[in-house]
Chain A
Amino acid sequence: MNAEHMIHNANQIALYFSSYPREEAVAGVLDHLKKYWERRMKDQIIQYVAQGGAGLHELVVDAVKRLDVPQKHATPR
């Protein structure tokens, strides 16, 4: 996914949860990313945050920091 698209998607999620108290909002974003984002997308946003996370909503940045660390993809079958 191109970075711009990823940032937009992630920020949209954050905007929804931003109405909630901060801790609840971060947990909401984190839960959403865990439940619905595929490993490649998680890896991409984790790397993007590690590089500074420019343009990402602060709730996304906080949530992504709590995401699992990138894993190697399973070996081909």
Chain B
Amino acid sequence: MALIQETDYGTPHILAKTQVTLEIDGKPVTVPAGTSIMRAAVESGVPVPKLCATDSVEAFGSCRLCLVEIEGRKGTPASCTTLAEPGMKVRTQSPKLARMRRGMMELYISDHPLDCLTCSANGNCELQDMAGVVGLREVRYGYDGANHLQPGKDLSNPYFSFEPSKCIVCSRCVRACEEVQGTFALTIQGRGFASKVSAGGTDFLSSECVSCGACVQACPTATLIEKSVTEKGQGDRSVVTTCAYCGVGCSFKAELKGNEVVRMVPYKDGKANHGHSCVKGRFSWGYATHKDRILKPMIRAKITDPWKEVSWEEAIGHAASEFKRIQAKYGRDSIGGITSSRCTDEETYLVQKMIRAAFGNNNVDTCARVCHSPTGYGLSNTFGTSAGTQDFDSVNDADVILVIGANPTDAHPVFASQMKRRLREGARLIVIDPRRIDLIKSPHVQAQFHLPLKPGTNVAIINALAHVVVTEGLVAESYVKERCDVAAFELWRKFIAEERNSPEAVEAVTGVPSADVRAAARLYATGGNGAIYYGLGVTEHSQGSTMVIGMANLAMATGNLGRRGVGVNPLRGQNNVQGSCDMGSFPHEFSGYRHVSNDAVRVSFEQAWGVPLQGEPGLRISNMLDAACDGTFKGLYVQGEDIVQSDPNTKHVSAGLAAMECVVIQDLFLNETASYAHVFLPGSSFLEKDGTFINAERRIGMVRKAIPPMAGYADWEITIKLSEALGYPMHYSHPSEIMDEIARMTPTFAGVSYEKLERLGSVQWPCNEKAPEGTPIMHIGSFVRGKGRFMITEFIATDERTTDRFPLILTTGRILSQYNVGAQTRRTENNVWHSEDVLEIHPWDAENRGIREGELVSLTSRAGDITLPARISERMQPGVVYTTFHHAMTGANVVTTEFSDWATSCPEYKVTAVQVQPAKRLSEWQEHYKEAKRRTTQILSQTGAD
């Protein structure tokens, strides 16, 4: 595909029911009321010269190039700031306009370097284009006067450069930072001739800039430009694909020269991101070609042996024969596998199919087990389906936004920008979080309420909010009567109204002032459209599922479901965590969340797959590890997942893996789990294959192969090879055929096909006969399960308790610049922002322990101990400490415990009782890790050299 040049309409699209018709250069044009003349002209195929206008930001009217003439009006108004009106007659070209535009361009060019031939933006520069459009042939003023041509660049940001001499001070970057990203890091410093773009008076790296790339995207010149473009030149082809980082699922254009990616540019037609991006998707793709990629299959007899590179045939044959040997010796259920939320739907579907059909058991699980499995349990039991209720754009209609246990500006930054835009427009914000997250107070955003609860008391808080709704007469009675199971509601109403659930009664437990809880509940219940957004701070608790149910209860009780602007919305962690769940990755259900014990469903799969299938659930990941330690589980196939680094209680995970006889890892890198593997199958990045990802709003987005698989095969092809070697051949020549099978076998996907995805760009499931183009908003009119089901949510404190020995509570999470186990982002320049995990601790707790900023501290729990640097931070409340798990060497999960959600076994990452003390050396585990890592990752080359 050639390089895609998207049309820039100059000003944003307007949503309005009223249409206006005007005439532009003699052609009638009809547009929504409120549309600029510039946009109306471009939509009708009439380009208008411009420099300061771009359709991602509001019109500014400073460059004076887009002037037009309007019949009956004096002067030459700017078409970007003048709105289309009925009957208007506009001329975009006249001798007078041409003279004026040429004059403006003379002024711009008189103060611009004339280095077009060697400029990085050559061929993609709007200033250059406009010089051509207006017919600039000379600059009468010369180039000797006062100017801004001083040499010098700001190269501090690892991904883009800032060259002020090329700046025309159009303010597009400043406005993009404000309006698109919402960070307000850039400004115009000085006045008049001295005006210049500034990153708050410092360099970009030291500024508030979050490297989202919106300014680079908006810049019409080479002032702000990707370093990769400066280094490699402009791309010559584009491939539209879906980002492989978080669950927002941004659409990107991969721009390439041959098979080398030059840059990733957010795609304007992407319905999840509307042309916006974050530092990870926009810039942090270098891992895909990092030298650490393993490109040859490898095997070894023992995990203490060096790896030996072998052919694909030998590696696949060895893995299959080992799995068969193990099953012959220990039984059919002695092996299993883990699907990946980083891989495509089609790949995930194939892995679970291979396990059920070729392994002959249901021992399949996925990394959603350790993040959003409680979402599936809670929402399916209350609403009838395991997914969020809204599309992202629904937030534009929200009046009250309730963010619980989520940190969107770090973990879901592109959606956070959309949310912040709505907040700047006037929506009100309630945040329930132990930490003072950035969203609570950021430029032009201020939460009405922050309820800083103690970790582990979510259910007490949600019950207290519901208590206020029920006891203060704020229940949407008619909604509940019409839409919900009334008997279940009455049982719940009686329970929740009990005094022990009141804000006053739970204040001592939660630490949140009861008056704030009452006021927040009133605001959510009466403030208009109330929308709940939540993250892993909800799910990763021993009562994770109960809390999801609690949120569903609250939304139903207030009637905040089934229309735009409301809903219960999980912010999914990984790019395809929704899809991996949808595809039947859990041990108890087939694709589309249908239990394996459902005879009709199972028989349909048996007929389609031609083998008998088990009707009992298989093992969850944690159960597999337990069974391995017990000696009944001996073999594991892991696609794109690193359970040693990401799952809790590393020592237990390691012990389980070490007890197995054959562990097969399919991944890009020799990850931590690979240290316990016997077969390594080199996987492919998202750039190297076709398929689909499903984001947090149930949107199925296309992943398109931009370059050939570096190791020879896409992941789906590798699974097919393994399955065939196991004696169960699967016949697909392209992922579209896998999706066709998914559609045949899964009612909620019945209408999905690659042809439709190509035609519509993306589609949100359910997509079937009832909703042929998908379902942006769920539960309109009635719930998927029929009547909404209220369930009782008794608060039960976790068994993980603080004591004199472990007096602090540790919560873990992620930050903006790193992603999960860091396998991708640690292999990029993002390390400039976060090169190691640190322990955030409140000043009081630090002072009590004699801990100073940056010094090493030991972090000890009942499970284990690690050492890491301290960061003293008032984001934390006293008694609570926080760290990330991005770096393997830190071993954050050495400390976390095996306590987990009662319903789904989702680990309780958010509550670990710990002690923190000054330290001088690494922990014993960390010392052991360094040595073990060196020993278990040695590779013998084909010549036998180490």
Contact = CB atoms under 8 A, between A and B. Distances in A.
Which of A2, A5, A15 has the most chain B CB within a 10 Å cutoff?
A: A15
Nearest to B329: A76
Contacts, number: 74
A5 B625 CA distance: 13
Contacts of A37: 617
A5 B796 CA distance: 18
A32 B332 contact: no
B691 interface: no
Contacts of A34: 597
B898 A74 contact: no
Interface in B582-598: 587-588, 595, 597
Contacts of B333: 38-40, 73-74
Interface in A10-25: 12-13, 15-16, 18-20
Interface residues of B, number: 36
Contacts of A73: 331-333
Given A5-B898, A73-B331, A35 B595 contact: yes
A16 B546 contact: yes
Given A1-B626, A19-B495, A38 B898 contact: no
B902 interface: yes
A60 to B, nearest CB: 12
Contact of A36 (B542, B617, B792, B799): B617
A62 B794 CA distance: 21
Contacts of B940: none
Interface in B575-618: 587-588, 595, 597, 616-618
A61 to B, nearest CB: 17
Contacts of A5: 626, 898
Contacts of B328: 76-77
A65 interface: no
A20 B620 CA distance: 27
Nearest to B327: A76
A66 interface: no
Interface in B499-554: 542, 546
Which of B623, B627, B630 has the most chain A CB within a 10 Å cutoff?
A: B623
Contacts of B618: 38
A13 B542 CA distance: 10
A2 B629 CA distance: 9
B903 interface: yes
B588 A1 contact: no
A36 B626 contact: no
B619 interface: yes
B198 to A, nearest CB: 55
A58 B332 CA distance: 33
B632 interface: yes
B799 A15 contact: no
A41 interface: yes
Contacts of A32: 903
Interface in B625-673: 626-627, 630, 632
A9 to B, nearest CB: 8
A77 B619 CA distance: 19
A73 to B, nearest CB: 5
B34 interface: no
Contacts of A18: 794
A74 B796 CA distance: 39
A16 to B, nearest CB: 5
A5 to B, nearest CB: 7
Nearest to B362: A38
B103 interface: no
Contacts of B360: 74, 77
Contacts of A12: 542, 902
Contact of A38 (B332, B623, B792, B794): B623
Contacts of A13: 902-903
B587 A38 contact: yes
A12 B792 CA distance: 15
A38 B902 contact: no
Contact of A40 (B495, B546, B627): B627
A77 B332 contact: yes
Nearest to B899: A8
B327 A77 contact: yes
Nearest to B360: A77
Contacts of A1: 623, 626-627, 630
B362 to A, nearest CB: 8
B578 to A, nearest CB: 20
Contacts of A40: 333, 619, 627, 632
A31 to B, nearest CB: 11
Contacts of B903: 13, 16, 32, 36
A19 B793 CA distance: 8
B627 A35 contact: no
A33 to B, nearest CB: 10
Contacts of B792: 19-20
A36 B374 CA distance: 13
A15 B587 contact: no
B796 A15 contact: yes
A76 B799 CA distance: 40
B106 to A, nearest CB: 74
Nearest to A2: B626
A38 B632 CA distance: 13
B326 to A, nearest CB: 9
A62 B13 CA distance: 62
Interface in B789-804: 792, 794, 796, 799
9 contacts: A1-B627, A9-B905, A13-B902, A16-B546, A16-B903, A35-B617, A39-B333, A75-B332, A77-B328
The 4 A-B residue pairs with the shortest CB-CB distance in the complex, in nearest-first order: A12-B902, A1-B626, A19-B792, A19-B794
Given A12-B902, A40-B632, 18 more contacts: A1-B626, A9-B902, A13-B903, A15-B794, A16-B796, A19-B794, A32-B903, A35-B597, A36-B588, A36-B904, A37-B617, A38-B333, A38-B362, A38-B587, A38-B620, A41-B623, A76-B331, A77-B360
